[in-house]
Amino acid sequence: MMKPKISFLTRFFLILMISVPLAVQAALPDFTVIVEEAKDSVVNISTKTKARKSNSGSKHPIPNFPDGSELGELFDKFFGNDEFGKRRRDSQSLGSGFIISEDGYILTNHHVISGADEVIVRLANRAEYVARIIGSDQASDIALLKVEAENLPVLRFGNSDDLKVGEWVLAIGSPFGFDHSVTAGIISALGRSLPSDNYVPFIQTDVAINPGNSGGPLFNLEGEVIGINSQIYSRTGGFMGLSFAIPIELAVDVANQIKQNGRVSRGWLGVLIQEVTRELAESFGMDTPQGALVAKVLENSPAAEAGLQVGDVIVEFNGKKVIRSSGLPPLVGRSAVGKNAEVTIIRNQSRMQIKVKIAELPTSMTKASYTPEADAEPEENSALGMSVKNLTKSTRKKFKVESGVEVIDVESNGSAQEAGIAIGDIITMIDNQAVTSVEDFEQITEDLKSGKSVALLVQKRSGPVFLAIRPEDS
């Protein structure tokens, strides 16, 4: 019986079909060694919050009896239930953490232990400890715990500055209470800023993170911790492919400050900033939109003392480029208080450097001062697709501004409306020139060149903001 002949192309494709899966398999990382080395240092964290007694909304208000009173216990037995007649129970929550010292210091998230009356740490060997909260910092979402134990396994730290988008990372935690669950993925982005976290340049990954993973470590392929899993973006409450981790250097710095000083201090520049759009970049003579645009310089701040001005664009801070405005707060926050920082700015289309002595971020800001003036009959003027009038005493007080003009009308589909200007806004600067009155507004707008975007500093109810507008569209 003759054997069928196999052509050269057939053999080639058979070999290719076998070799490609093997090559793909060989290219995938092996996480088993990392997990084996790190799992004993990852802990489960559970918290308990005692139910608070409250008489609000009760048909039978409970009198305030002394602790241990038999009459008090009797009242609580019959009237200390919720609206459905069920007993109120202590609430519990779950999270993760990891050991950073042999004598029992543990890192986790602030939101994992926030408001807890008791924190219980469970190790991989099932041993449990009641942890002491050394301190926590809400701004960075970092908490430092301590358990009374010795010779605990410690994790190694890496350097998040060396990370690259696309590299593999691994997470270990307790999602939904399932201890030591392992998930893997890649880094999706670096230095990501979230609306509620100005001082944390998050590491974005697609590692599956769910409730209970918070506070757990994020590893690189060397088995080093490079972040603490903190948040997810979700419309359902579960994982949707967007996870965010706090860089380990920031977390360790916060933990050290908590341990040594009992609190966290951050650098303060004293400016309000915004993003530089393409239109604003054109108005400032910049080739590309980048940096942090200074919309306001706070009084008696380091920025004011150093000579920073409204309209300056900060493009570098201590030698590190500021690509987006969100990149500046983390750089300032981690700066040493009392030390000089070198700030590179663009002012009037010229690049210059300014030294700023960084101060400590104050816990509260002083309200802007205001000098009352008598109201006068406001003058009016129309230009750039809007009508304006001089400020009254009440408007100055309401917006906390000393000068400017108030927008009283905006043309439909005009340039002002397209730029985002609304009735009630205060125009304080046009094309880097201060606007103190309607007369200033009129003179400045008459001299503007058509066909080129110019920047307007607008005081809205939410705060100052630069907007770009084209005079030719007015």
Both tokens of residue 131? 């942890």
As a whole number of angstroms, the longest Cα–Cα distance in the chain is 114
CB atoms within 10 A of CB 5: 6
CA distance 312 to 328: 14
Q: Which of 141, 179, 197, 440 is catalytic?
A: 141
Determine the 3-state secondary structure of 25 from DSSP.
Answer: helix
* 359-367 contacts, C-beta under 8 A, 24 or more apart: 359/267, 359/268, 359/270, 359/301, 359/302, 360/265, 360/266, 360/267, 360/268, 361/265, 361/266, 361/267, 361/268, 361/333, 362/268, 365/298, 366/299, 366/300, 367/400
CA distance 411 to 316: 39
CA distance 45 to 136: 15
Contact 467, 474 (CB under 8 A): no
Residues in contact with 242: Cβ distance below 8 Å, sequence separation at least 6, in sequence order: 188, 204, 206, 232, 233, 234
Both tokens of residue 211? 């409730």
Is 141 assigned a catalytic role? yes
Q: Which of 96, 136, 140, 214 is catalytic?
A: 214
Q: Which of 111, 114, 180, 473 is catalytic?
A: 111
For residue 193, the one-letter residue type is S
DSSP 216: -
Both tokens of residue 335? 């700066």
Q: Which residues does the annotation mark as catalytic?
A: 111, 141, 214
